[in-house]
Amino acid sequence: MAETKGSDRLELYYSLAAAQLEEVFTSQKEGMIRLAELWADAIEGDHMLYSFGSGHSRFIAGELYWRAGGLAAALSIDDPALGAAERVEGYAETFMKMYELEAGDLLVVISNSGINPVPLEVALYAKEYGVTVIALTNLTHSSKAESRHSSGKKLFEVADLVIDTGGQRGDAVVPLEGVDWRVGPTSTMISVALLNAVVAQTAQNLLERGITPPALISANVAEGDEHNEQVGERYWRRLTHFPRKPL
């Protein structure tokens, strides 16, 4: 098949993204190993794995929730405003009250910049309940940017474990001629790959402890529905989220 004219940006994105993926795996491997151990500890202790992202990061958080090949103990926390209120202080508590967080649970908060109030306050709220908080963030960007929270804090400064997703300031990596901005973001691809790798290691860790991982399989294979119903029986009450505390 003949190469299409102008495909250099296709190749550039793939090469830059692949290089970033390799760099993140190399530099963040110890953190990923630690996260897989924490997840295995939580599942062994009958605790939940939560994830949260506001704005576009909510799609990354959703990758962990009831996903074929994923873990049934994972629940993504919804941002009802879909990121529209990400800069509003005090907003996070209004929806975090819908979740029964407890000590021993884990929460991954995803924010490329790590500077907005909502992801920060989600992390702080969870820590008040004894939840271990993991930040997935771009440290190069976040460390040089100014916090938008009145405390002056950023997500990576309050997390118990920080995993750096790397990448360019502003996320996009592909330069274009004649303009001073870039296209082709990488944070979603990097974060999803990282989290799914940790899922795989968590499952292996559980097996080595003599525990069958609560892994989900595709509902589009013949045995999928029955398998997932059995796996989900342990968690389904905690996978529903509705106000159980006064709002």
pLDDT tens per residue, range 150-194: 999 999 999 999 999 999 889 999 999 999 999 999 999 999 999
Is 125's pLDDT higher than 80? yes
Domains present along the chain, CATH in parentheses: 26-238 (3.40.50.10490)
Assess contact for 134 and 159: CB atoms under 8 A. Answer: yes
Sequence-distant (6+) residues with CB within 8 A of 87 are: 116, 117, 118, 148
- Express each pLDDT in 184-226 by its tens digit: 999 999 999 999 999 999 999 999 999 999 999 999 999 999 9
Q: What one-character DSSP code corresponds to residue 147?
A: P
Q: Which of 48, 58, 148 is nearest to 95 (CA)?
A: 58
Tokens at residue 18, please?
């692949």
pLDDT (0 to 100) of residue 242: 54
Tokens at residue 6, please?
């102008």
Q: Which of 105, 110, 149 is nearest to 128 (CA)?
A: 105
Is 78's pLDDT higher than 90? yes
Is 139's pLDDT higher than 50? yes
Count the residues in the chain.
247
**pLDDT-derived band at 6, boundaries 50, 70, 90:** low
Is 1's pLDDT higher than 90? no
Q: Which residues of 162-175 are buried (b: 16+ CB within 10 A; e: fewer)?
A: bbbbbbbeebbbbe
Count the neighbouring beta carbons within 10 Å of the beta carbon of residue 47.
20
Count the neighbouring beta carbons within 10 Å of the beta carbon of residue 242.
6
Assess contact for 244 and 98: CB atoms under 8 A. Answer: yes
Assess contact for 73 and 235: CB atoms under 8 A. Answer: yes
- Is the whole-model pTM more than 0.85? yes
Assess contact for 159 and 131: CB atoms under 8 A. Answer: no
Instruction: Supply angle C-alpha 133, 45, 201, rounded to 5.
Output: 65
